[in-house]
A = this chain, B = another copy of it.
């Protein structure tokens, strides 16, 4: 079976208004997973997907996840799983997306109504969830429909897993994926996730790595209750004094982690790897623009991308228990909790990182000779993920990019984490590919979220082309 791209691409172009209408309907459902009173809207969005998939002839199941942890009065929205095609001669691709969205309100500063898809004269389609992640999710449905209407045999068996709690920690999803790995997902040959973004605005990318994240808190306490600094200042050892000194020992202005032993855990960078970074479409101007300032650590692209993807970083997030409001309050906080996290990379193992963090904090605190109590706690950890970009799953995607955009995609990592990636890899044992649809300027999670019409329509072509290329890739080549 040879790829039938031209007919497919023409059909996508022909159906573009219809596909935009489908996105408009989806954006109009305010499926905000973090807001209790909008839970029915999340459920409604799941039902919308269910009915669209059924209309396309897919087998669909809405799987309940039970009550929400810590909010037992709320039912979690169901995971919508679906199968399209059951031909044992075809490869089976499992795709993941989410149908819930971040909160949004006009008052936050949106230029348009966040839950009304609004297209401007530059083809920017504004609306909450347009790029994160309703556009990409509908991309799969649209790819099915375009194949049907072009009378092209669908190239693979498609398994779909669409969740409704991604923006609230994917509650219940890991257990579900693990439970279904050998059941609903058992035929999976490879996994594709479209829930991240191009590095810039022009060149598509395939993403093969994510940093992990280990989050810590340092709790320092002493007095029995908050104190008046007039009465106690100068006579009591103050937890805040100790905390800022301990936090100040973790990392320097140039991002260099000061914890002994961390550097030694990082896999050495190979010469081959270094070369990968030179060709990537990214400039310091891109960084300055997204940063909104020139306050970067490095002056060159390669060091910057490596610092983002390839090396660990440590960020101080804040302090709980201290005075944090505007204005002036002369309190001596009795118990303060400093929060920081380390973005981890190969080959940093979580228990080893924990051990080094704990040893460092305890060592520094000891030098203070304080009578206060110091406790360091790992709040949560997610492991880094790196896939092989030489796998046929990536090769098919690279060819698909070339077929649609006439360029070779950048091979990128992400500095952030998408925990479900590692879950799918571990549960299925198969290669996972991140294949983004949106661009770096889409403002996911921010006001004025948008998806460019070009990214949506060409993205639908990309997803279909990817499946067609998957179908003809020789699985033994990698």
Does residue A426 face the partner (Cβ distance < 8 Å to B)?
Answer: no
A280-328 contacts to B (CB < 8 Å): 287, 290-298, 304, 307-308, 311-320, 322-326, 328
Contact between A224 and B292 (Cβ–Cβ < 8 Å)? yes
Contact A236-B296, Cβ < 8 Å, known A253-B241, A341-B229: yes
Partner-binding segment picked from A89-97, A182-190, A331-339:
A331-339
Nearest Cβ on chain B to A458's Cβ, whole angstroms: 24
- By a beta-carbon cutoff of 8 Å, the part of chain A in contact with chain B is 211, 213, 215, 217, 222-225, 227-238, 240-242, 244-245, 247-248, 251-255, 287, 290-298, 304, 307-308, 311-320, 322-326, 328-334, 339, 341, 343, 368-372, 379-380, 414-417, 445-446
Contacts of A445 in B (CB 8 A): 228
Q: From A333, which residue of chain B is reached at the shortest CB distance? A: B318
Q: From A257, which residue of chain B is reached at the shortest CB distance? A: B234
Residue from the list B213, B312, B319, B343 in contact with A318, Cβ < 8 A: B319
Contacts of A328 in B (CB 8 A): 215, 217, 317, 339, 341, 379-380
How far is it, in angstroms, between the C-alpha of A308 and the C-alpha of B228 when the chains are bound? 11
Contact between B228 and A416 (Cβ–Cβ < 8 Å)? yes
How far is it, in angstroms, between the C-alpha of A237 and the C-alpha of B241 when the chains are bound? 23
Residue from the list B215, B233, B329, B334 in contact with A330, Cβ < 8 A: B215
Contacts A217-B328, A236-B295 supplied; 14 other A-B pairs, CB < 8 Å = A228-B416, A231-B415, A234-B415, A235-B297, A235-B313, A237-B297, A241-B252, A241-B253, A241-B315, A242-B253, A244-B244, A316-B322, A317-B328, A318-B324
Contact between B297 and A236 (Cβ–Cβ < 8 Å)? yes
